Amino acid sequence: MSLVKSFSVGNGDMFYIKHGSDSFSVIDCCYDTDDDWSCQLDEIAYESKNKGITRFISTHPDDDHIKGLKDYNARFSISNFYCVQNEATKAEETDDFKEYKELRDSKKTYSLKKGCLRKWLNQGDDERGGAGISCLWPVEANENFKNALAEAKKGASPNNISPIITYSINNGASFMWLGDMETDFLESVEGEIKFSHVDIVFAPHHGRNSGRLPKTVLDKITPKLIIVGEAPSKDLEYYGDYNTITQNSSGDVTFDCDGDKIKIYVESDTYSVSFLKDESCSDTYGNYIGTLCL
């Protein structure tokens, strides 16, 4: 069994994967201890306590994806930090951005790029199996990507240095993250990305229109479910032709993956959808709203 969780953190992203293997992964962070959101760290500590390998994957260093990173690192002592190789700068550096740079430029860091291989990330050995995480993008030689890196180095938005990563379970569920990649950039590099089916995709840029997944990409990944983030409602792309969960309304979303079924739970007691199968499961991880059959 694997557990995937998307925290509801307002205008930001924070996820974890409790792998069926001896691994635990966190993707991005965005929380504010002043608002007493540190309960998320307590949950991560509890869910990861029996895992031999923990890793932190950073899609890009905007505040809504690294807010709280300094506090996170102080608590968990990140030893496996994954990001796209970059030299992003900021005109005004927060403590969390400084922490990001320190991790990014340290020996704890492993580069995310298309086809990258790493023991226990996506390769197993006699000690433990791989975590099932793959990277579809970036292609470091791509000129559009080089331009995005150059802009980030000058202090412009790092949205388009975001990688595309997937998590796949053998004979089970698959997920995709694209950070805050913007639509026009994705369209410009789509030809170099080997897209294939994924069951659940987290819409880029918190579900904003500016990160709308092009139809040509959706036709390749044929998602069973799109998770739309918490950008302001007026800015959202609702993907009307697809099954969606919108975190503005649902709050936290937890995916309990077991074989060819994904039991889905949300934070809101009143949120519901009609496209999931009702298997009358108990509310183990929040309000059970149904099962996605693969």
Does residue 232 have a cis bond before it (omega within 30 degrees)? no
Q: Which residues contact 101 (CB under 8 A, 6 or more apart)?
A: 61, 93
**Chain mean pLDDT for the chain:** 96
167 neighbors 139 (Cβ within 8 angstroms): no
Laid out side by side, the sheet with 200-202 consists of 133-137, 164-168, 174-177, 200-202, 225-228, 244-246
Does residue 158 have a cis bond before it (omega within 30 degrees)? no
Phi, psi of 46 (to 5 degrees): -70, -45
Q: Which residues contact 25 (CB under 8 A, 6 or more apart)?
A: 16, 17, 19, 54, 55, 56, 57, 131, 133, 167
Asked whether residue 96 carries a pLDDT value surpassing 90, the answer given is: yes
271 neighbors 286 (Cβ within 8 angstroms): no
Question: What pLDDT score does 36 carry?
Answer: 61
Asked whether residue 34 carries a pLDDT value surpassing 90, the answer given is: no
HSE on the CB side for 80, CA within 13 Å? 16
Instruction: Place 11 in a pLDDT band, splitting at 50, 70 and 90.
Output: confident
Tokens standing for residue 114: 């298309």
Instruction: Report the CATH number that the domain containing residue 47 is assigned in CATH.
Output: 3.60.15.10
Which amino acid does the sequence have at 276? Answer: L
Question: What pLDDT score does 257 carry?
Answer: 98
Q: Which residues contact 198 (CB under 8 A, 6 or more apart)?
A: 166, 168, 174, 175, 176, 221, 223
Instruction: Place 229 in a pLDDT band, splitting at 50, 70 and 90.
Output: very high
Instruction: Place 39 in a pLDDT band, splitting at 50, 70 and 90.
Output: confident
Distance from C-alpha of 158 to C-alpha of 163, rounded to nearest angstrom: 11
Q: What percent of the chain has pLDDT over 90?
A: 95
82 neighbors 89 (Cβ within 8 angstroms): no
Residue 32 Cα distances to 37, 40, 70, 261, angstroms: 6, 10, 11, 34
Distance from C-alpha of 287 to C-alpha of 11, rounded to nearest angstrom: 22
Q: What length does the chain have?
A: 294
Question: What pLDDT score does 37 carry?
Answer: 61
Asked whether residue 31 carries a pLDDT value surpassing 90, the answer given is: no
Quote the domain boundaries for residue 46: 2-293
Tokens standing for residue 85: 């190789």
User: Per the structure, how many domains does the chain have?
Assistant: 1
Tokens standing for residue 121: 């990330």
Q: For 245-280, what is each residue's pLDDT tens digit? A: 999 999 999 999 999 999 999 999 999 999 999 999
Q: For 72-92, what is each residue's pLDDT tens digit? A: 999 999 999 999 999 999 999
Q: Which residues contact 99 (CB under 8 A, 6 or more apart)?
A: 66, 69, 70, 73
